């Protein structure tokens, strides 16, 4: 082609006839008679291999727990549940001052109506309420469970406190006459608390209630007369305490379970 063009445009000989030029260029021209190539007869006629799509199951969302960076992790877990994590993050200094402010509000709330502490699932006598008020006036390394209950009353929430290591939990019900939102707080072996800021769903509640619910943090079980040996055997199985082919007496089962699940 290059030789032809050179001869056509750069020549020493006399110019050739136009008809001859057109004839010579005809193989390289696009006209109505030009046939387009058939794509169905392309060189690569082998169809590409089909891709099999493997659907992976969606992983279950991980539960996100928040561990407050303050010493009194239990107080701040409750604060976060009631006020939100963003509010907690805004307290950059003087956390202890803010804690005292909240506890003063709780005192005022109880002073107006002391009966609010008697509607909980924790027994409060008038003397116990006075002791609670004294506890609320100061700060300690960690709040007591009585103070925790007063915060639940103030915030109108219920708490399931869970110990996954022992497969047990405690209920803190702030008003036995009213259904209130429930939140989960988790305790580890070092008595450090973490919180799930999402309200417990019905499914989650059912899952937690498959654990052993302690009678209280002071006494994990009721007196032995409240249980049948079948119930105690089931508890012991759930905790992995039984040996195969061994029979246990009721008192033995009770003591094994009691020592295993007590809230130290």
Q: pLDDT tens digit string along 24-75? A: 556 555 555 555 555 444 434 444 444 334 444 444 445 689 999 999 999 9
Length of the chain: 264
245 confidence band (pLDDT: 50, 70, 90): confident
Lowest mean pLDDT, pick from 27-41, 127-141, 196-210: 27-41
Those residues with Cβ within 8 angstroms of residue 174's Cβ, 6 or more apart along the chain or in another chain: 119, 120, 149, 152, 153, 155, 156, 157, 158, 180
Distance between CA atoms of residues 17 and 186, nearest Å: 99
Q: Residues 169, 173, 179, 181: what is their CA dihedral angle, to the nearest 10 degrees?
A: -60
- Copy the structure tokens of residue 200: 């417990």
pLDDT for 187 equals: 96
| pLDDT more than 90, % of the chain | 70
- Residue-wise pLDDT tens digits, 82-130: 999 999 999 988 899 999 999 999 999 999 999 999 999 999 999 999 9
What is the average per-residue pLDDT within 143-155? 98
Q: What is the pTM of this model?
A: 0.74
In the chain, % of residues over pLDDT 70: 76
Residue tagged 């007590």 (tokens):
262
Residue 179's pLDDT band (cuts 50, 70, 90):
very high
Mean pLDDT for 205-218 is 93
Cβ neighbours around 137 below 10 Å, total: 10
252 or 50, which is more confident?
A: 252
Domain residues of the chain, as ranges? Answer: 2-32, 73-213, 224-261
- The architecture in CATH of the region 73-213 reads Alpha-Beta Complex (3.90)
Kindly give the pairing relationship between strand 158-163 and strand 182-187: parallel
**Torsion, CA 23, CA 24, CA 29, CA 35, rounded to 10:** 80
């Amino acid at each position: 082609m290059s030789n032809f063009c050179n001869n056509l445009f750069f020549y020493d000989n006399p110019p050739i006839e136009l008809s001859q030029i057109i004839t010579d260029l005809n193989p390289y021209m696009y006209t109505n008679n030009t046939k387009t190539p058939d794509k169905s007869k392309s060189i690569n006629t082998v169809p590409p291999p089909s891709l099999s799509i493997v659907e992976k199951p969606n992983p279950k969302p991980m539960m996100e727990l928040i561990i407050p960076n303050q010493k009194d992790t239990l107080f701040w877990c409750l604060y976060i549940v009631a006020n939100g994590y963003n509010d907690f993050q805004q307290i950059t200094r003087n956390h202890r001052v803010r804690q005292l402010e909240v506890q003063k509000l709780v005192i005022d709330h109880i002073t107006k109506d002391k009966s609010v502490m008697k509607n909980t699932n924790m027994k409060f006598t008038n003397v116990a309420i006075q002791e609670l008020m004294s506890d609320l006036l100061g700060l300690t390394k960690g709040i007591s469970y009585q103070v925790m209950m007063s915060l639940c009353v103030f915030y109108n929430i219920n708490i399931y406190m869970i110990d996954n290591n022992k497969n047990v939990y405690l209920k803190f019900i702030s008003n036995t006459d009213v259904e209130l939102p429930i939140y989960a707080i988790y305790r580890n072996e070092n008595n450090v608390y973490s919180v799930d800021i999402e309200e417990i769903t019905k499914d989650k509640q059912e899952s937690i209630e498959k654990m052993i619910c302690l009678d209280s943090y002071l006494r994990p079980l009721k007196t032995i007369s409240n249980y049948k040996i079948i119930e105690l055997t089931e508890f012991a199985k759930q905790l992995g305490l039984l040996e195969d082919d061994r029979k246990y007496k009721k008192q033995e089962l009770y003591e094994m379970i009691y020592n295993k699940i007590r809230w130290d």
